[in-house]
Amino acid sequence: MNEEQNNNLPKSIEDLLKLSRSNIEKLIAAWDGLSVETQIQVFTTINERIANYEFRGTPNFSYLHTKLFQKGLESSNDYVRYLSVRYLTNALKNRDEEGFNKLNEKVNKDESDLVRSAQFEHFFEFDIADGFFDKQTHQERLARVRSGHLNGDLLAEELTKAIENNYFSDADKEIELLELLDEYLSNDENNENYYVMDYQYIDGYRDHSITKELEALWNVVPKLPGLAGELMVQKLPHNAPMGNELFKSINKDLTNEQLSCLLVRKDIVATDFRKEVFWRDEIPSEDKYAPFTQFWAQASNHHFRLDEEEFAKILSLPVKEQEKRLGSLSQADSLQLYQYEVIIQLLTKFNKKNNDAYSSDYEIDFARYSLKGRLNQEADYFREEQLIKLRLYDQAYKSRNWRRLDSDDYHFKEVLYPVKVEGDTWKTFLAFLDAIKKSKLTLKDLPKTEYEEWEEEEEEIPLEKPLASELSQLNSLIATTRDAAFQNRLALAVIAGLVLISVIF
């Protein structure tokens, strides 16, 4: 195994990890002379190899490692002692009762909370003991969620009990809850895949258990206080082996903040729920600066598409509401290409008509940016249809200036001009769509829009280049000035000489 695979340990130390009584004795003898970083690397490497069963078949490997980790207990560094306690607790419990009791006695006197709590990180005790919140310390709870996969069903049950008893009404307890949940959801065993590995087999009991745990955790979310509930919404997996979109049963119970966190998650598709939220009416708010609450922008942020009929529904609304709905769509990343152009044109029009319009320039900029992003990401099989619609809407908008069909006009106008609807860009666009389906026109026959011809932003010139150029100019100027000064000094010397001669004579 090379040095990189072994945490960059020095070869002299790496050789001592080839497990034998002699090597462990040598490593213990050298221990006090090693840096803290190297000591941590040694412990980390041993634990990784144990997890990978690399010592399988080696006689007494647990006994030999125990001797080394007991040496680590003498360290002045809290983290080295923490690693020692974590290993020794699991090595001695149920195997060496006397050694285990001595370890606990020593650990309980340690000044470090981290070291004292390490004894609760049992790899074989993942379930929650009774009185998780009211009988255990915060450090003990943190240790238990660090130890491995903690049963989500039981955690949800303990959370519910604590909430019912107003345990988190105290601000400090609420902060502890936030830290606990963050630790729980950041644990390698509970991360975004929530205890789901790439298994090569189906296990109905395991899959059912995981699904049940996640459902229980989602169901407790609306009851959680403040940031704790938002954190759960941000990080909890929403799918499980035997269930999808596990938030469905509580989506109407979420607080406004929790709902916002849910909708902005890109991994949550939930197309039907997003549309349901988007078509909701505004909710009156007591905030005088934001008299209405709405989640239209968050709902349409991701995985949100509107067909022509649905988009027309927005255009049929009163102007004020059109502005709000179109403005909320400006950052959507999945609309049809032409719809961004509609948003840009109408918001621009509304702003010109009314300086106090709800929409603002930044929403127009967002829509431009979103359109540019969609032009760059559209899949090949879908791109042509999208571009045809974009170009047809662009022509529908420009058709306001078509007065007659000239012979030098593009031949596509022969198809589109007869169906133009005077004074109505949207109806003209729909008519163009119908006409092109009946014609032989293709994407190549339609002129590109200005949006397709946006040039990439110029690359920034590396800082060194202008500096080098300026330095060269400066050096040239210095040289010129120096030469001029030198010549002036010669001239002054000649004049001074002539003056001196005239004085002498």
Q: Beta-carbon neighbour count of residue 43 at 10 Å? A: 21
Phi, psi for residue 283 in degrees, rounded to 5 = -105, 125
Give pLDDT, residue 433: 94
Using an 8 Å Cβ cutoff, are 374 and 335 in contact?
Answer: yes
Give pLDDT, residue 419: 92
What is the C-alpha to C-alpha distance for residues 423 and 390, in angstroms, rounded to an integer? 19
Output the CA angle 232-236-242, nearest 5 degrees: 140
Phi, psi for residue 241 in degrees, rounded to 5 = -55, -30
Rg (Cα) of the chain, in Å, rounded? Answer: 36
206 band by pLDDT with thresholds 50, 70 and 90: confident
Partnered with residue 283 across adjacent β-strands are: 293
Strand, helix or coil for residue 243 = strand
161 band by pLDDT with thresholds 50, 70 and 90: very high
Q: Could you tell me the pTM of the whole model? A: 0.74
pLDDT tens track for 105-151: 999 999 999 999 888 886 544 456 667 888 888 988 888 888 777 78
Using an 8 Å Cβ cutoff, are 146 and 183 in contact?
Answer: yes
pLDDT tens track for 448-481: 998 887 644 444 444 444 444 544 554 554 455 4
Give percent above pLDDT 70 in the chain. Answer: 78
Residue 86: name the closest of 112, 60, 53, 61 by CA: 112
What is the C-alpha to C-alpha distance for residues 73 and 82, in angstroms, rounded to an integer? 8
What is the C-alpha to C-alpha distance for residues 415 and 386, in angstroms, rounded to an integer? 20
Output the CA angle 110-112-116, nearest 5 degrees: 65
Q: What is the mean pLDDT of the chain?
A: 81
7 band by pLDDT with thresholds 50, 70 and 90: low
Burial of 403-426, coded b for 16+ CB within 10 Å and e otherwise, reads eeeeeeeeebeebbeebbeeeebb
Give pLDDT, residue 486: 44
Coarse DSSP helix, strand, coil percentages of the chain, rounded to the nearest 5 percent: 65, 0, 35
Give pLDDT, residue 336: 94
360 band by pLDDT with thresholds 50, 70 and 90: low
Using an 8 Å Cβ cutoff, are 110 and 116 in contact?
Answer: yes
- Residue 283 host element (H or E): strand 283-284
In 287-428, where do the E strands start and end?
292-293
What is the C-alpha to C-alpha distance for residues 22 and 122, in angstroms, rounded to an integer? 30
Using an 8 Å Cβ cutoff, are 421 and 428 in contact?
Answer: yes
Q: Mean of the pLDDT values across residues 271-297? A: 82
Q: Which of 56-70, 325-339, 419-433, 451-465 has the lowest mean pLDDT?
A: 451-465
